[in-house]
Amino acid sequence: MAYEIEEQKKVGLGLIGFGIFFSVLGIILFFDRGLLALGNILWLAGVSLLLGWRSTLQLFTSRSNYKGSLSFFLGLFFIFVRWPVVGIILEIFGCVFIFGGFWPSVKVFLFQIPIIGWVLQYPVLLLDRLKSFG
């Protein structure tokens, strides 16, 4: 295999997946506070296992990420005090701010996945061809 993942990172990816699943389920079920809180806890635990405790702490306490971290944890607080809509909006803003630098790496990774990569690249290739005709 091209990429070997150790067991701790596999568990971290699983927790992130379950966290996203419970968060989406909580949003679909009219912002159910319990599911959203469970999704957030699983997601944070998964990120911590995937990156490591020290790297996660550095990611959230970095000077360049202070707006995103504050927004994310304020959103988490709002979910716990029964304002889930405001909390989710703040968390999404925080995640975009914190993980904004990772998007190019994620894009390259997704393009390398056999079926998903082709589906994601197809509109880009189509737009490039349309530009070359114009």
Give per-10-residue mean pLDDT for the chain (134 aa).
Answer: 76 92 93 92 93 91 92 94 93 89 81 78 69 66
User: What pLDDT sits at residue 123?
Assistant: 73
User: What pLDDT sits at residue 6?
Assistant: 87
What is the pTM for the complete model shown?
0.73
SS3 57: helix
User: What pLDDT sits at residue 88?
Assistant: 92
User: What pLDDT sits at residue 2?
Assistant: 58
Return the sign of the alpha-carbon dihedral for residues 33, 34, 37, 40.
Answer: negative
Least Cα distance to 36 among 80, 94, 92, 89 occurs for: 80
Residues 6+ apart with CB under 8 A from 109: none
